[in-house]
C-alpha cells in the first residue's frame, strides 16, 4: 500500500511539473519562431500529450484488442472536449481567436464525422487510413503555412529562455507527463484493487481518464498561467492526432470497429465536437458557465456507461 501511495503522489508530481515545463517550453518556442502559440498547442504540445493514447491504441490493435484501442481513442476525444476544456474553462475563461472558429474547430468536426462514416461498415480499411493520414498532413500544412508574428512584449518576456532550454523543457515536459500518467494509473489501480473495486470499473475510469491526464493537466496549467491558446490548441490538435493514429495503424492491418462504439461512443464524440462550435461562436469565449455544461455532459456520459 505504501508503494502504491508513493506511485500516486509521484505521478501527480511528474504530471504537474511536466505540464508546467511543456507549457513554458511551448510558449517560448512559439515566440522564438514567430508563430501563434495556438499552432504550437495544435502540434508540438498536442502530439506530446497524445503519446499515451498512441501507445495504448497501437498495442491494442497489435494484440487484437480492438475494443480497447477504439474505445481509448474515442473516449479520449470525448474527455478532451468535455472534461479537459470543461476543467480549463472553470479555472479561467478561455477567450478564442476568430480563426479558431473558422478553421480549427471545423477541422475537428470534419475529422470526427469522417471517422464515424468510415466506421459505419464495421472496419477502418487501408483506404480509410490513407484518407485520414492525408487529412492529417493537410492539417499540419495549414498550421504552419501562414505563421503569424507575435507581440514584442511577448518576445521580451520569453527572451530569457535559451534555445536549448526551450527544447529541454518541451522534451522533459513530455517525458514527465507520459511517465507521470503511467505511474499514477499504476498506483491508483493498485489502491482500487485493494479497496475491492472491479477490473471493469478500473478500466472504465482510472485507465481511460489516465490516458487523458496529460491533456487535462497541460490545459489546466496553461489556463492557470493565461496561456489559453496553448491549452485550447492542445485539445483540438490532440483530437485530430488521435484519429490520425488509427489511420497509421491501418498501414499494418485494418482496424475492426465494434458495433457498440459505432452506435454510441462515436456519435457522442461527434456530438461534443458539434456542441463546441455554438458554444465558441456565441461570444468567442468558453466561459465558466460553458465549462460547467461540458463537465455535466461528461459526467452524464460516464454515468450512462455504468448504468
Concatenated DSSP letters for 241-272?
HHHHHHHHHTTTS-EE--HHIIIIIHHHHHHH
The pLDDT tens digits for 21-61 are 777 777 777 667 667 777 877 877 787 777 777 776 777 77
Residues 100 and 297 sit within 8 Å (Cβ to Cβ): no
pLDDT tens by residue, 149-193: 444 344 334 445 667 777 788 788 778 777 876 776 677 767 767
pLDDT at position 258, please? 81
The residue written with cell numbers 448504468 in the block is 307
Let me know how many helices (H) and strands (E) the chain has, helices first: 18, 4
Give the residue from 3, 60, 24 showing the smallest Cα distance to 174: 24
Q: Are 116 and 270 in contact (CB under 8 A)?
A: yes
For the stretch 118-131, pLDDT in tens is 999 989 999 999 99
pLDDT at 293: 93
Nearest-10 Cα torsion for 161, 164, 169, 170 = 120
β-strand partners of 124: 255
> How confident is the model at residue 74, as a pLDDT?
86
pLDDT for 150 equals 46
Pick 147 or 83 by higher pLDDT: 83
Contacting residues for 252 by C-beta, under 8 A, at least 6 apart: 61, 62
Q: What is the pLDDT of residue 90?
A: 92
The mean pLDDT of the chain is 79
Confidence of residue 132 (pLDDT cuts 50, 70, 90): very high
Is residue 45 within 8 Å of residue 233, measured between CB atoms?
A: yes
Q: What is the mean pLDDT of residues 250-268?
A: 85
Q: How far apart (Å, rounded) are the C-alpha atoms in residues 22 and 19?
A: 5
Written as nine digits, the cell of 263 is 452506435
Average pLDDT score over residue span 246-255: 84
Sign for the CA dihedral angle at 55, 59, 61, 67 comes to: negative
Question: Which carries the bigger pLDDT value, residue 85 or residue 101?
Answer: 85
pLDDT (tens digit per residue) in 192-213? 677 776 554 555 556 667 767 7
Cα–Cα distances (Å) from 33 to 10, 144, 182, in that order, read: 34, 11, 32
Amino acid at each position: 500500500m505504501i508503494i502504491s501511495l508513493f506511485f500516486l503522489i509521484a505521478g501527480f508530481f511528474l504530471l504537474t511539473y511536466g505540464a508546467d515545463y511543456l507549457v513554458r517550453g511551448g510558449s517560448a518556442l512559439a515566440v522564438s519562431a514567430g508563430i501563434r502559440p495556438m499552432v504550437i498547442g495544435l502540434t508540438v504540445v498536442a502530439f506530446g500529450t497524445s503519446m499515451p493514447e498512441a501507445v495504448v491504441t497501437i498495442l491494442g490493435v497489435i494484440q487484437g484488442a480492438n475494443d480497447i484501442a477504439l474505445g481509448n481513442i474515442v473516449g479520449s476525444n470525448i474527455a478532451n472536449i468535455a472534461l479537459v476544456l470543461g476543467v480549463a474553462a472553470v479555472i479561467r475563461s478561455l477567450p478564442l481567436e476568430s480563426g479558431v472558429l473558422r478553421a480549427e474547430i471545423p477541422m475537428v468536426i470534419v475529422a470526427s464525422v469522417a471517422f464515424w462514416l468510415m466506421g459505419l461498415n464495421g472496419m477502418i480499411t487501408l483506404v480509410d487510413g490513407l484518407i485520414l493520414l492525408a487529412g492529417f498532413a493537410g492539417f499540419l500544412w495549414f498550421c504552419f503555412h501562414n505563421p503569424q508574428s507575435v507581440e514584442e512584449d511577448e518576445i521580451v518576456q520569453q527572451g530569457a529562455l535559451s534555445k536549448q532550454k526551450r527544447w529541454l523543457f518541451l522534451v522533459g515536459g513530455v517525458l514527465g507527463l507520459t511517465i507521470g500518467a503511467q505511474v499514477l494509473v499504476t498506483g491508483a489501480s493498485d489502491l482500487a484493487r485493494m479497496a475491492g473495486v472491479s477490473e471493469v470499473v478500473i478500466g472504465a475510469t482510472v485507465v481511460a481518464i489516465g490516458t487523458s491526464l496529460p491533456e487535462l493537466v497541460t490545459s489546466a496549467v496553461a489556463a492557470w498561467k493565461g496561456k489559453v491558446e496553448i491549452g485550447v490548441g492542445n485539445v483540438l490538435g490532440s483530437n485530430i492526432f488521435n484519429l490520425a493514429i488509427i489511420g497509421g495503424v491501418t498501414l499494418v492491418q485494418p482496424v475492426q470497429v465494434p458495433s457498440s462504439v459505432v452506435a454510441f461512443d462515436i456519435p457522442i464524440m461527434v456530438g461534443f465536437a458539434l456542441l463546441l462550435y455554438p458554444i465558441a461562436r456565441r461570444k468567442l469565449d468558453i466561459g465558466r458557465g460553458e465549462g460547467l455544461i461540458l463537465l455535466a455532459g461528461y459526467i452524464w456520459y460516464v454515468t450512462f456507461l455504468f448504468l
